[in-house]
Structure 1
Amino acid sequence: MTPSEYEHEPIRGLPGDLPPGERILWQGGPEWRTFARSALHTRWVGLYFAAMAVLALLSGSMGGLLAAAASAAAVTGLLSLFAVLVARTTVYTITNRRVVLRVGVALQKCINLPLAVIGSAELRPLTGGHGDIVLVPNAVHRLGYAMLWPHARPLKIGRPQPMLRALPDAVNVAEVLARACGAIAPIAREDAPAIRPAALPAQGVAA
């Protein structure tokens, strides 16, 4: 892990001790292979270079074929390495009051999102029981897209939406988040519950 202000965390994934009354409900991070496929699109990158190799082969260019193969190995290797580093340095935390994203490979930072400002959440299933959870704030915030990437919903640059990416057992994580948001709803907010049932599979919504 790159040295940072969070190198000696009092609690893993958090910048400081929990205040009285706050407790951790869940902690985890991305699975690097799933992250590489879903966030960095390594399969599409591989298909692109495979197409380049086929074109070079059809045109009889052995140099082009070798160049395509070398480029594919280099690019996918770098993307996979980045995915491994992201998985090692990322910690997502859900407490009974907030969601915390400790992110950053070269420069680490902690992003706090109080449960009361989560307007909705969407579970996006991936293969093998993994999934992404998109958090949609219900108020204007100062989170920049560049600050969040790659833990941000693609193309939502104007109003970035944080994402918990490539989570193992994502349905259970969604249940934890749904219960946490539902618990603070009567106290901290006057609008609809933070997790919309329609946004999650039936088995992912707390009763």
Structure 2
Amino acid sequence: MTQSTVRYETQDDFATEPVRGLPELLPKGERMLWQGAPAWKPLAASAYHARIAALYFGVLLVWRLASGIVHGEAATSILASLLVFTGLAAACVLLLVGLGYLAARTTVYTITSRRLVMRIGIALPMTLNLPFKVIASAAARINRDGTADIPLTLAPPNRLAFLILWPHCRPWSLRRPEPMLRAVPDGARVAEILSTALKAYALGEIAKASPAPAAQAPASSPQPVDVVAA
């Protein structure tokens, strides 16, 4: 598993991973620090907006009921239209919830001592290899339920396509897509693990470049995770 640049590769659905979430064994000296996946309920709510869709359809149902009563429609007519609309609304919401569930089940995030690896994709699984040397900075948004969204800013000229990343990217980061660990359970601990790993990597790179204690990190060195509470 090389670590020089950002790369992604598709995976055969029937291929056997030597380590869960990783297409290859880690190089000698590299350690796995954490591995996990998104929590499916927060993912369905935040990425697929299942909760907003449910509220939207609920408002439409109330409006349809009130409209029928105001216009004096027959109770059977109102009930029939409500039943049809409820069925369609339920199907749409369940589709969004199902997508969130499948996305969470097929995703594996891995933090090692030298990189972040994201195995993503429902229909077409792929693995994103993000060495720490290409991560310019990271942030963490801790949500009320304890999950976290951790977006990563890539150092130029490294770029990834928004459509390849979605929903594992910062919302609306179309011009410069940012990979993101989304709806990660126990988010504060995961953010701390990533922050510690980035610091250790940066210090190691400084030590390689210059053994002097006063040496400063180069501009491209990864920065600690900036944590923000939702």
TM-score scaled to structure 1, two decimals? 0.89
Stretches of structure 1 that go unaligned for 5 or more consecutive residues are 203-207
Cα pair 1:49 1:71 within 8 Å, conserved: no
2:141 maps to 124
Q: Report if the CA contact (8 A) 2:133-2:220 is conserved.
A: no
Match of 1:39 in 2: 47
Larger displacement relative to structure 2 (174-183 or 134-143): 134-143
What is the aligned partner in structure 2 of residue 59 from structure 1? 67
Please point out which of 90, 94, 98 is paired with 1:77: 94
TM-align CA RMSD: 2.0
Residue matched to 1:190: 218
Instruction: Calculate percent identity across the aligned residue pairs.
Output: 45
1:151 aligns with 2:168: yes
Deviations 1:128-186 (A, max 9, x none): 21111111112222410000011011111121100101111000000110011101113
Whether 2:212 is the aligned partner of 1:181: answer no
Q: Is the 8 A contact 1:29 1:167 kept in 2?
A: yes
**2:154 aligns to what?**
137
Rounded to whole Å, the distance in 2 between the matches of 1:192 and 1:201 is 23
Structure whose alpha-carbon radius of gyration is higher: 2
TM-score normalised to structure 2 length: 0.80
Cα distance between partner residues in 2 of 1:171 and 1:95: 17
Q: Deviations for 1:52-84, whole angstroms, at most 9, x for unmatched residues?
A: 101110111444422331122101111111111
Tell me the secondary structure at the aligned position of residue 59 of structure 1.
helix
User: Which stretch of structure 1 is more off in the superposition, 157-166 or 114-123?
Assistant: 114-123
Q: 1:68 to 1:124 in 2, by over 3 A?
A: farther
**Separation (CA, whole Å) in 2 of partners of 1:32 and 1:14:** 21
Contact 2:138/2:153 (<8 A) preserved: yes
**Displacement of 1:4 after TM fit?**
2.5
Distance 2:193 2:224 in 1: 14
